[in-house]
Every structure is written in C-alpha cells, then in structure tokens.
Chain A
Amino acid sequence: MEKVIFEYHSQPAAYVPVTKLAVANKYIPAEFLGSVELDLPQASEQDVIRHFTALSKLNFSVDSGFYPLGSCTMKYNPKVNEAVADFDGLAGAHPYAPEESVQGALELLYELEIFLKEVSGFQGLTLQPAAGAHGESTGILLIKAYHRHKQPAQKRTIILVPDTAHGTNPATAALAGYQVRQVQSDNQGNIDLAELKKNLNANVAALMLTNPNTLGLFERNILAVSRLVHENGALLYGDGANFNALLGLVKPAELGFDVMHFNLHKTFSAPHGGGGPGAGAVGCSKELTPFLPVPRVRKNREIFTLDYQPKNSIGKIRSFYGNFLTAVRAYAYFLALGAEGIAKVGRQAILNANYLRQRLEKIYHVPYSRTCMHEFVLTPQPDWAVNTLDIAKRIIDYGFHPPTIYFPLIVHEAMMIEPTETETKETMDTFAAALVKIAQEAAQKPEILKRAPQTSPVGRIDEAQANRQLILKYEKRVSG
C-alpha cells in the first residue's frame, strides 16, 4: 500500500531542477513569523509526482471502467466540458467582479436556466444549490414558504415519503422541521393509491416522489397521485435524481410536479468525482417562483444583472452563485449534444437498462419483472450460498465497479444496476458475461465469492470495524 505523504523524507535528486518558492517572506512582518520549524512533508518533486500517480491508480472512475451504480447516473463526462470549464473568462471570473465585467458568465447562467426549464417544463429555476440534497432542501423550503404565504393559519406539518425513496428525502423533510410519514408501495413497485389516500389530510404539506422510482419503475399512477395531492392542498416534490430516464421524453411539470431538483452531476454529465462539487439546480411552478433563493439572474435589454431584491425569496442558500463551474459543464453538455441529442438521452438510457435486464433476468432473481426505465433491481437466487455483498465484491475482480447494493430498502438483498446511455453494447455484453460467470460461481463455488475481491489494492474490508473505529486523520508515530 502506498505510504502517506508525511512518511516521505526525500531530498531533491541530482539534476532535477528545483522551482524556488514564488512568495518571499519579506512581506510578512517579523513579529508574525513563527520560530518553530513546521513539520511539513519532505518529498522531492519526483517523489511527489510518483506518490500522487500511485494514488490515482488506486482509484476507480468512469474514465477507467464501467460504473453501473444505480440511481447515481455515472455517465461518461465528455472532455469538452472540461475544456470549456477551463476558459480563462469562466475559470478566472472573480465572484466579486463587477457585473459589467462578467456578462458572459451571467449569460451562461441565464441560458442554462432556460435549457433546464425547457427540458422540465418548469417556470422558475435556481442554479444556487451545491448538491442534490441541497437542492431538495431548497425545494422543501420553497414549499414551506408557499404554504406559509398562502394559508398562514393552517399548520401543514407532515411530508409524505414513499418506502422506495432515497434516504435524503426523509432527511431533508426532517431537517426542514417536518414530520415524515412513509407511504407503502403496491405489489407492482408503485405508490399504493389507497395508502396515499389514507395518509393525506389537511396537515400534509407535500409528497416527495422520485419518478422513475428507485426500482427503476415508472410511476404509472403519477397523474392520479398528483391529482390526489393537489386536491388535498398539498404540493408534489420531485426528486430529480432519476431524471435521466425522462430526459427528452417527459416534462416533470406536465406530470404535476410543483418543484424538482436536478442533479447536474448526474443527468447533465458534470463529474461526481471526489465527492463533488455537484450542483442541485431547482425548477418550480409559477406559484413557487417568487420564493426562489437570491440572487436571481435577470436580463434587461441585453444586459445581465444579479437581483437580490425579490421580497418573498427564501433568501441566500449558498455563497455567491452556486457551483458555477459545474453549471458551466452542464451548459457545455447541452450545447455539445444539441436539442436533438438531448432528446435521445432518456430513450437510450432506457434501452440500455432493458437490454441488460433481459440478459440477466433468467440468471438472477428479478423482484419486479416489468419493463424498466433507466435502472433495474436484481437479487441473488434464493438457493445460492452467497449474499449481495459477495457478488458486488466479486464484480470488482472482473474489472467493473459494483452496482448500488442493499437499496432500495424494500427489496431484500437488492442490487441496483444503471448502465446509462453512454455505454456501448459491447461494454454491456462484457458486463453481462461477467455477471453470468459470477452466477455460475455463486451456484457451484461460493467460496470464490466469499474471498473476493482478489485483484483490488485491498481485499475484503471489515466494513463494521471501519465504521466503528474511524481513523480520519494521519497521526505521526513518534519513535523512541
């Protein structure tokens, strides 16, 4: 295993030019200078390069292989996005620069809002939230502001969440001060209308719904669901994590969603790498638009400005303008793919997922055997002496990233697979062949799976131990 940078003690090697530090300490008054030598890593230039190159090789990314992580939409991140995000005028724009000097950057934000409104059918939009869950939180705050404004006397204190929801949904609702009530799914994997009716009352503020849901299934009763919710005076929140399946096919606003977050790092090809930065743009209906966070980007006679004035706004939710360069990548993706390309994304994502599902559904158990959307759920056959974790670990040995496992919670031993539209048939065939092989191993030699992975930098990790005894920082061992 590669050592940490603090464990290097190397001197510059011969004949490697050394770059002198650009900042001299003559600018710092003497009384502010420390007297103790700092314990900083000592590594020569080539050791630094080799260290970080070695670390990068330990990583697995969508640039190194197939990454069918369900509900995460690990599509390929086109490199044109990076080229555009590196433009001086965009990468170098200072957040305090006067508006007249960053007109291009503001125009880009303004146009990206238009593109997102076009594909979703929403009337209002903000690019401020810095991640999906942050977008959810913003959306729920819009709903809270709306109810408070419309019916100040009525206390709507409950948010309904289906049992297939992403864990962030109940977390968001709870954080916003709501009580969370779970609504059960029917045997088709959709929301149970009778259950929904039972749970709807004058205290319900909203239903948070993911469509397609986390089983990869289209919510067939969506129009009935949105009618019931609206008749109750509540609003319908859309979790846009699975929006990739609908892109170019359906506009969520037309299904009755009042507000939805987009994950620019999923659907619109900005990278997820290293935990972000993501972007959780939020689209909403005309009724919710006055409450959107500030600043809003305005266009007035070809001049772009930032508006901090809307009086009913929920206020600021993020410093400056959200994760601007993530928005730039999404914008580049829209322009590079064009209207015609964008319109085909959802279609191809669905086709790919169904192709893979068809190839695997005789071999693995499929708890909801229906035409799926962009992802599907498999489980091990009941007579195999392995569990889902063992299969996931074995998939690593075949050179792929494992799918999402043990989610959604309503499926026992779930494995959730999302190939995305950017994978070729060849890649999916290779993956399917590996899963067929693993199924044979599971039936005949389960111990191979129990020992997996064998080919990764570290073997089977004791996940319980790793969670119980967190080691979050390097601590220097003092010798002697």
Chain B
Amino acid sequence: MVPRELKYSESHEWVKQEGAMVIIGITDYAQEELGDVVFVELPKVSRQLKQQESFGVAESVKAVSDLFSPVTGKVMAINETLAQQPELVNKEPYAGGWMIKVELSDNGEIANLMSAEEYEKFIQEGPK
C-alpha cells in the first residue's frame, strides 16, 4: 500500500505537503517491518530539524528504530495520540498514525524525495 499522492524517503518516511506545511509519518512497509509498535518518541514542538536528522524513535517488540526527517524545517505539531495509542502506526500508517507536522524551510527538498512509483520499486529491491 503506497498512496500515490505522497512522497517518500529511503528511510521509509512518507511526506504529505499542504502548502508550506508537511505531515510526516512512516510507511506501511516500515510498520510491517517493525512489527507491533509499542512506543513512539516524538520531538518537542518548535524544534528545528535538518533533513535526515533523527526526530524521534519508534520502538516495536522487535527493534528500536530512529525516525528521520525527510525535510528541513520547524516542528509545528506532533501527534499526541500516539503516546496512548502507538498501535495507530500499525493500523493507520498514513492517517491516524501520522507523527509530526513541519513548516518547510526549503521547498526544493520535496522534489528530491521519491514518488510513489519510485518508492514501490525501492522496496521491491529488498529490505534496507
């Protein structure tokens, strides 16, 4: 399941652009690989993130994984619901499982992310 309208990073985050703001989460493939997510650690609102900087941690029964920001910008909101219901990352990775909203510093970064078709090809080539 790779929604057409989103952009993707090599570390399996998705990005949805809404004007100057982007919403970030992890892909269905990523949640499947992680297994049941039991804890999500998110950054403080207003934190400045660089592209590829770690913005948090997702812990599953199998592993603890860093979450990487696909873009540079300022954290404007975090999904507080995940503190109580981390399983939303598994159940609705592209909806209720969203993680952070970031105000973009550099619009050009989005263009360098993968399209849905490119990401599909990327995950078919094997686990990374």
Contacts and interface: CB of A to CB of B under 8 A. Distances in A.
Contact of B61 (A407, A409, A464): A464
A171 to B, nearest CB: 9
Nearest to B84: A468
A454 to B, nearest CB: 21
Contacts of B108: none
Given A412-B127, A463-B36, A468 B63 contact: no
Interface in B30-86: 35-39, 59-64, 86
A467 interface: yes
B87 A467 contact: no
B63 A467 contact: no
Instruction: Pick from B36, B61, B86 the residue with the most CB of A within 10 Å.
Output: B61
B87 A468 contact: yes
Contact of A406 (B37, B38, B62): B62
Interface string A400-427: 0000001101001000000000000000
A167 interface: yes
Interface residues of A, number: 9
A468 B38 contact: yes
Nearest to A468: B38
B68 to A, nearest CB: 11
A406 B38 CA distance: 16
A463 B61 contact: yes
Given A412-B127, A463-B36, A406 B63 contact: yes
A26 B110 CA distance: 77
A407 B36 CA distance: 16
Contacts of B39: 467
Contacts, number: 23
Contact of A167 (B35, B37, B62, B64): B64
B64 A467 contact: no
A463 B60 CA distance: 9
A78 B14 CA distance: 53
A464 B35 CA distance: 9
B38 A467 contact: yes
B127 A467 contact: no
Contacts of A463: 36, 61
Interface in B15-39: 35-39
Contacts of B64: 167
Nearest to A464: B36
A467 B35 CA distance: 13
A412 B127 CA distance: 8
Nearest to B59: A467
A13 B59 CA distance: 50
Contacts of B86: 468
Contacts of B63: 406-407, 409
B23 to A, nearest CB: 24
A464 B38 contact: yes
Nearest to B64: A167
Contacts of A409: 63
Interface in A457-480: 463-464, 467-468
A480 B125 CA distance: 62
B62 A464 contact: no
A267 B59 CA distance: 30
Contacts of A167: 64
A468 B38 CA distance: 5
Contacts of B38: 464, 467-468
A91 B115 CA distance: 66
Contacts of A406: 62-63
A468 B60 CA distance: 10
Nearest to B60: A464
Contacts of A468: 38, 86-87
A463 B87 CA distance: 13
Contacts of B62: 406
Contacts of B59: 467
Indicate the member of A167, A407, A412, A464 with the most B CB atoms within 10 Å.
A464
A464 B87 contact: yes
A194 to B, nearest CB: 19
A329 to B, nearest CB: 32
A446 to B, nearest CB: 18
A464 B87 CA distance: 9
Interface in A190-227: none
A463 B61 CA distance: 6
A167, A412, A468 — which one has the most chain B CB atoms within 10 A of its CB?
A468
Nearest to A182: B66
A36 to B, nearest CB: 37
A234 B38 CA distance: 37
Interface string A370-413: 00000000000000000000000000000000000011010010
Interface in B72-109: 86-87
Contacts of A412: 127
Interface string A432-464: 000000000000000000000000000000011
A467 B40 CA distance: 12
A42 to B, nearest CB: 37
Interface in A128-180: 167
Given A412-B127, A464-B36, 6 more contacts: A407-B63, A464-B37, A464-B60, A464-B61, A467-B36, A467-B59
8 contacts: A167-B64, A406-B62, A406-B63, A412-B127, A464-B36, A464-B87, A467-B59, A467-B61
5 closest cross-chain pairs (CB), A and B: A464-B36, A467-B38, A463-B61, A406-B62, A412-B127
